[in-house]
Chains A and B, each alone.
Chain A
């Protein structure tokens, strides 16, 4: 176990991810980009779900806001990616601040429902505001960022534009995950865990629960927005569905599937779910049926998610070895 722990998994994963375009398959790059972006989305949700104990059922709102921000800035105002990408995080954070201000005043199921209501409002606006968001039709043809400079890089010169964008995505997602990892490891992260474990007690020892919850909500929203900004470009278009509640539940499932008790659990969940989706949809159109079944098995048999189950298995192994 200690040997397993000493392996630097995260840098290893980044290196492997950077090697994916070398396989030369358009399809692998496509799936890998999808996984990288949704991994960030899921990990940002877990800041609320796993670390603070807040069940947000409307996390897609911030993903959608980020996607529309980057998309509109790049397509309609021709603003370069360097500015349009951070703008996604900033705008998502502002919305998260406003919505979160009301949401953190509620507890448990009511919190979940208010986040859902706000997300549906965002969706309804995106769906109907034709002049700005393109309405129901969405906004196709978001341009790729200008990545011509990558052609001068060693090894990456011969690759396609989608590969270049993928490399950029991996670097940005890795940076965001590193930041998030720092955040949950900081004293602030400890406060969130305290709130999750016992909000009343946290209040007693002088923690302003609502304010820290709001802070967590804003950070989670900002990173979801950044993920959305990348996703709009990757998807070659932004659509109202990005903010719809089914998207929120999708990311919830990824997070639970991977395991909310571990920082990288949700990223593993994103990987497994998306790869499964690709595999299964090539055999059958009934993916929701399979997903529902997976979900039920998960809830009843592996409530700790994949990483939780692996961790428990590894622990049992070491105990056997020691004894």
Chain B
């Protein structure tokens, strides 16, 4: 081979390549030109060849977020979603070889941009979709039978805790995000949702055939959130607004949805047993 004009060491070469692929497009144009100097010029412009990688990286990142946030993408439109993702990548570039994690900061990032605007609900919608992502990939434990609860002496019932599915996610929003989510599934028409529907409290429940999203009465949502934090039945009732006469209905829903995995006594040290991975967002 002929002696090349520019033979940087591997570290320098990768640094130039990385700079050309970076999310800051204004700067990466310059870096792309610097990388082009390290590329064999056989008649097809080196910059055009570098552009293939830049397009691939951008499309892969956007594709990962599109898979995680399909409802939000549908609501804002493909072009605006792409623009949002480009801005998001500048603040939160991929930090993993596993694409799954690229969208984990998107809800908080959306909140930082949308809070105080007419589009604040989009951040909560993103939070709901990330909750779906987490719920879908969580391990599923065998459901417990309600018989275990029925066998307990009445005096033991108050001090009983319920272990819940690790994949359960609870998302509360001041906006009707559950209705938006329902209206924008692939087989739905995507009709506009009346904002006056107000706050909604959603339980994301993983099942054999995918996810089921329940819109819960706020009292039941609070009660489940307390249970998920390891509170006893009595503590959960006290801390939530669930009327005692609705306790049976709430428990029937929990067991009927396969969400209870363990019926047990409270921890000996009296501390609340907080389940790892329960991402509960309270009513706002």
- A and B: bona fide binding partners: no
